[in-house]
Amino acid sequence: MSSLIQKVDQGGPAWRAGLRPGQRLLKINGHPIRDVLDYKFYGYDSRLELEAEQQGQIRRLLVEKEEGQELGLEFETYLMDRQKGCANRCVFCFVDQLPKGLRPSLYFKDDDARMSFLLGNYISMTNLSQEDADRIVAMRISPLNISVHTTDPDLRNKLLGNPRGGASLKYLDQFAQAGLRLMCQIVVCPGWNDGEQLAKTLKDLAALRPSVESVAVVPVGLTKHRQGLTPLEPVTAEKAREIIEIVNQARKECEKKGGEAFFYAADELYLKAGLPLPPVEYYGDYPQLENGVGLMSMFRQELEGALAMTEENPPPPPPFVIATGLAAAPFMEEMLGLCRKKCPAMQGRVKAVRNEFFGLGVDVAGLLTGGDIIRQMKEEIRPGEQLWLPDCMLRHGETVFLDDVTVGQMERELGARVRVVDVDGGEFCDALFP
Over residues 144-175, the pLDDT tens digits come to 999 999 999 999 999 999 999 999 999 999 99
> How confident is the model at residue 153, as a pLDDT?
98
* Per-residue pLDDT at 213 exceeds 70: yes
> How confident is the model at residue 68, as a pLDDT?
92
Average pLDDT over residues 175-180: 97
* Per-residue pLDDT at 267 exceeds 70: yes
Q: What percent of the chain has pLDDT over 90?
A: 85
DSSP label of 84: P
Is residue 115 within 8 Å of 35, Cβ to Cβ? no
Average pLDDT over residues 341-360: 96
> How confident is the model at residue 1, as a pLDDT?
53
Average pLDDT over residues 44-69: 93
Distance of CA 20 to the CA centre of its chain: 35
What mean pLDDT value characterizes the chain? 94
Candidates 330, 272, 264, 325; CA nearest to 292 is 264
* Between 82 and 233, the higher pLDDT residue: 233
State the pairing for strand pair 348-353/320-325.
parallel
Which pTM was predicted?
A: 0.90
pLDDT, tens digit, 9 for 90 and up, residues 308-335: 999 999 999 999 999 999 999 999 999 9
> How confident is the model at residue 128, as a pLDDT?
94
* Per-residue pLDDT at 427 exceeds 60: yes
DSSP label of 319: P
Candidates 386, 284, 266, 245; CA nearest to 328 is 266
> How confident is the model at residue 119, as a pLDDT?
79
> How confident is the model at residue 400, as a pLDDT?
94
Helix (H) or strand (E) holding 52: strand 47-54
Average pLDDT over residues 14-36: 93
pLDDT, tens digit, 9 for 90 and up, residues 108-136: 888 888 888 777 889 999 999 999 999 99
Cα 427 to Cα 299, 303, 305, 339, distances in angstroms: 10, 8, 11, 13
> How confident is the model at residue 107, as a pLDDT?
86
Q: What are the start-end ranges of the E strands in 309-395? A: 320-325, 348-353, 386-390
